[in-house]
Amino acid sequence: MSTATNIPAATRFSLLRKPAVARAARLLLAALAALLLVSILLELLGADALTALQAIVEGALGAPFSLGQTVMIASILVLTGIAAAVPFTARLFNVGAEGQLYAGAIAATAVGFQFPHLPSAVHVPLLLAAGIAGGALWAAIPGLMKAYMNANEVIVSLMLTFIATLLAEYATTGIWPSGLATNTDPLPGNALLPTVSASTDITLGAPLAVVAVLLTWLLMNRGTLGFQIRATGFNAHASELNGLPVKRIQVLAFTIGGAAAGLAGAILVAGIQDSLIAGGAAGFGFLGIAVALVARLSATWMIPSAFLFAVLQVGSNSLQVKAGISPSMGAVIVGVFVIALLALGAIRLGTDGAK
Amino acid sequence: MTATDDAVPEAPAVAPEDAHGTIRMEGITKRYGALVANDGIDFDVASGEVHALLGENGAGKSTLMGIMFGLLTPDAGRIVHGGREVRFASPADALRRGIGMVHQHFMLVPTLTVAENVVIGSRPSHDMRFRRRELEAAVGEVAERHNLHVDPRAYVRDLSVEDQQRVEIVRLLYRGANTLILDEPTAALGSAQVKVLLATLKQLQASGRSIVIVTHKLDEVMAIADRATVLKGGRNAASLERSAFEQRAFTQAMFDAMPDPVPHERHIALDAAPRIAIEGLTVASSTGRPALRGLDLELRPGEIVGLAGVAGNGQTELLDAIAGVAHVESGTIAVDGADIVSQRPLERRERGIRVIPEDRHDAGLVLEMTVAENLALTMVPAGEASRHGLLRRREIRAHAEQLLERFDVRPGDPDRRVHELSGGNQQKVVVARELSGAPRVVIASCPTRGLDISAAASIHRQIESAAADGCAVLVISPDLDEVLALADRVAVIFEGRIVHDVPREQASSEAIGLAMVGQAPGAAATAAADRSATHPTTSNG
């Protein structure tokens, strides 16, 4: 649905002239409006807005460790953004990326503990594959129920999120108990994703997220399946009359989204938290919806969009120390930003312009 | 602002019968941009009469009725009600003067009860008392008084279509309507239910109310109307008293005279095996009521058959059933002898079945995608435009460029998004996709709708050339001119069956017009009409 990605390259250049500029302008305007609103809010709370915003940026990017954290959370958000964007393009509302992330995390954890003596070169790919499969299967349920039973995919994917969240809790206490109620023991070292940059704790998860973006771009813009997902999303009736297997495409779109979320789950347990933590997803699955909308479902825009949200997420931890206000202001800022974008039409659900 | 405030006394003396509600519409004109929907129409309803309003789709009936019940304001002309000139600000305003409408698609709230639906919006806002029991009794009393049996406490969502229609009528009566306008009230009813409805209307008439019935069906007009007005192209075409009711008079007024048969150069092997043979096809519409009721139709290779009929008689469902997107309850569709009913849409397309749907925006095109992508819609799932799961973009583009040239689409830019094209060129994109690649059966619904003459002619030439290559073409159109311009044979669809089927040379506009309004000609007319169980016809005019 994004102007930039859904059409062949030749068109993109001619379109770049206007819609993309207009879009950038709208984004900028929305960012400024959000900044203004947030500043007013911060001043009302008795904090200095400039100090607070500075605290966020420094808190997210200022030190190697926090920069690494920001990059890793951005990687998770890129993947949950894809989990929302691919089904959205088929006009299916996957709000269950959080649950699909947990499903992937649980599957990855199982592989991690099940084969403690595998060499890393086998164990890590196996664990990642398990995560992808777990998320894909969890997403296939709402996809199948939508396509073949006409169930509401929003409700089904949301309800499955609650189930997966509770399953993760059960896994930490019932399947792989560690004595601590909220998390399992650390995964065996061979199961953990290798570190890419030791000083920042950036692991293989970050380059994997970039690979996922490239693959998604390829799928959606050059692949036959992406073509059919787009056609189905824009006009399912015409697609069906033209012989597209609409139901199968719907299931696949949902499943691909779930695979991305499942990969995020595997990266979370084996590349960030080193163990399965109940509540460890911390809303990253839901935040992926905002990431996808700000990126207007475009795979390439997913990276800056996710990075922006990751900065806000990580940076707001230093609000308490540096500006004397609650870190939950970070969540408020995210909310205000998304609302400002929506209000200014920088992001739109469903049809993108045209129809 | 109410009509009463607005009403100005009329200068001439008031005729006594006008006192209780004769409505006279004089010189009503309504324009939508360049389109004149109503062009100086005169229409009147005398107190206590049943007046039928007839005309083809687009003749101006809905606009005229919209003006009569206060939804639309005319650009010119006046409405005289009960001897005074009135102007209606809204449907509520018209209802206060006793004029109400029962829409074809009911305006009821499914989650409320019958009684609630009847009073909804009618109580003044300052009267906050809402005594359920009293209300239900009052609504029940109005219903029973007019023999409209319906339980005031029932929820509308649980009611059948006929019961819902009764609720609509009760609603108008409860609010004191003296003039009831019914828009195609029998469209959703079975024949037994139609009888009940007509009896109800008779009864309402006997109680002194006036009724305007908008319809396509001559049966109903003959059965209950005292007078009939026929519109054509936004003007009065005929006004008939009951004594002058005659089938010919109606159809001549409704439909244009038929152009002379044009000799074709095409030669159709009359003894050839049918390219497509449809037998006993039964399909339910999206609302669940039967849309096709055992339809039989055969097309030979190279034959163009025109399917005439008033919209809504099963045309859409026929196209969907052949394309493979409608649920077929029974019957067969054989293409070159093989039944395709169980095949998926893609298999059918690969077999050479193509459809040009009536609504290009809803069913023909993906407006947000490019011209090239739209032209490749079927190629992609069929695997013709891909390698290893990736699109062969150069081939898709080359394919598009070739078709754009051949079908003269302007601009001939394959990368332009379809919604940027004019309507005529959008239609050409659909036609180009459907007629390219050796089609064997083409179902074309209104293939030239909204196109200018030259664009229409070029699409007609493309259809003829496809037929010349042995393709069987079914042209579905409510526009008789289009049907007759192309067809080798003319069939008429009415209530989900073919009721008339004749070679072009033997086609007469009278017989076709009659068949379109449910008066199938004698069984002797064609063998085909024999085959399809003809709709029972009555004429008591």
pLDDT digits (tens, 9 = 90+) for A109-156: 999 999 989 999 999 999 999 999 999 999 999 999 999 999 999 999
Q: Is the pLDDT of residue B147 over 90?
A: no
Confidence of residue B128 (pLDDT cuts 50, 70, 90): very low
Q: What percent of chain B has pLDDT over 90?
A: 48
- Name the DSSP class of B262: P
pLDDT digits (tens, 9 = 90+) for B208-217: 999 999 987 8
**Count of positions (residues) in chain B:** 541
Interface test with A, best of B347, B368, B394 (most A CBs within 10 A): B368
Report which listed range, A246-250, B16-20, B133-137, B174-178, is most confident. A246-250
Report which listed range, A318-327, B465-474, B521-530, is most confident. B465-474
Q: Is the pLDDT of residue B157 over 90?
A: no
| B285 near A CB under 8 A | no
Q: Going by C-beta distance under 8 Å and a sequence separation of 6 or more, which residues neighbour residue B48?
A: B205, B208, B209, B210
Q: What percent of chain A has pLDDT over 90?
A: 64
CB atoms within 10 A of CB B208: 11
What confidence score (pLDDT) does residue B32 get?
A: 83
Tokens of B93: 């305003």
pTM over 0.80: no
Q: Which of A27, A52, A53, A73 is nearest to A309 (CA)?
A: A73
pLDDT digits (tens, 9 = 90+) for B365-419: 999 999 999 999 999 999 998 899 999 999 999 999 999 999 988 888 999 999 8
Pairs from A55-58 (Cβ < 8 Å, separation ≥ 24): A55/A315, A55/A318, A55/A319, A55/A321, A55/A322, A55/A323, A56/A311, A56/A312, A56/A315, A56/A316, A56/A318, A56/A319, A56/A330, A56/A333, A57/A311, A57/A315, A58/A315, A58/A318, A58/A322
Report, as an integer, the average pLDDT of A16-43.
Answer: 76
Q: Is the pLDDT of residue B523 over 80?
A: no
Q: Residue ranges per domain, chain A? A: 76-300
Phi (first) and psi of residue A134, to 5 degrees: -60, -45
User: Looking at beta carbons, which residues of chain B come within 8 Å of A243?
Assistant: 344-346, 348-350, 377-378, 381-382
User: Do B370 and A235 lie within an 8 Å CB cutoff?
Assistant: no
Interface test with B, best of A215, A241, A355 (most B CBs within 10 A): A241
Q: Which of B311, B308, B309, B320 is nearest to B284 (CA)?
A: B320
Check residues A353 and A312 and name the one with the higher pLDDT.
Answer: A312
To which residue do tokens 């009911």 refer? B106
Q: Determine the angle formed by the axes of helices A329-343 and A21-44, rounding to 10 degrees.
A: 140
| B439 near A CB under 8 A | no
Lowest-confidence segment of B88-102, B392-406, B521-535 by average pLDDT: B521-535
Kindly calculate the radius of gyration of chain B based on its CA atoms and give it in whole angstroms.
Answer: 26
| B470 near A CB under 8 A | no
What's the whole-number average pLDDT of chain B?
A: 84
User: Do A243 and B348 lie within an 8 Å CB cutoff?
Assistant: yes
User: Do A354 and B417 lie within an 8 Å CB cutoff?
Assistant: yes
The ipTM assigned to this model is 0.85
Q: Which of B369, B385, B397 sits opposite A231 (nearest CB)?
A: B369
Interface test with A, best of B320, B361, B374, B380 (most A CBs within 10 A): B380
- The three-class DSSP label of residue A251 is helix
Q: Is the pLDDT of residue A15 over 50?
A: no
How close, in Å, is residue B409 to chain A by CA atoms? 18
d(CA B113, CA B115): 5
State whether the Cα torsion B7-B10-B14-B17 is positive or negative.
negative
User: Do A7 and B370 lie within an 8 Å CB cutoff?
Assistant: yes
Count interface pairs A-B at CB distance under 8 A: 110
**Bridge partners, residue B236, by sequence:** B231
Whether omega for the bond prior to residue B411 falls within 30 degrees of 0, making it cis, is yes
User: Looking at beta carbons, which residues of chain A come within 8 Å of B390?
Assistant: 218, 222-224
Lowest-confidence segment of A179-188, A304-313, B43-52 by average pLDDT: A179-188
Confidence of residue A89 (pLDDT cuts 50, 70, 90): very high
Instruction: Find the chain A residues whose C-beta atoms sit closer than 8 A to any C-beta of B.
Output: 1, 6-8, 10-11, 14, 218, 222-225, 227-228, 230-231, 234-235, 237-245, 351-355
| B394 near A CB under 8 A | no
pLDDT digits (tens, 9 = 90+) for B337-354: 999 999 999 999 999 999
How close, in Å, is residue B103 to chain A by CA atoms? 27
Check residues A6 and A268 and name the one with the higher pLDDT.
Answer: A268
How close, in Å, is residue B320 to chain A by CA atoms? 8
Q: Is the pLDDT of residue A310 over 50?
A: yes
Report, as an integer, the average pLDDT of B105-118.
Answer: 88
User: Do B380 and A228 lie within an 8 Å CB cutoff?
Assistant: yes
How close, in Å, is residue A1 to chain B by CA atoms? 8
User: Do B367 and A242 lie within an 8 Å CB cutoff?
Assistant: no
User: Do B415 and A8 lie within an 8 Å CB cutoff?
Assistant: yes
Domains of chain B and any CATH numbers = 1-96+211-254 (3.40.50.300), 262-352+439-541 (3.40.50.300), 365-437 (no CATH)
Q: What percent of chain A has pLDDT over 70?
A: 91
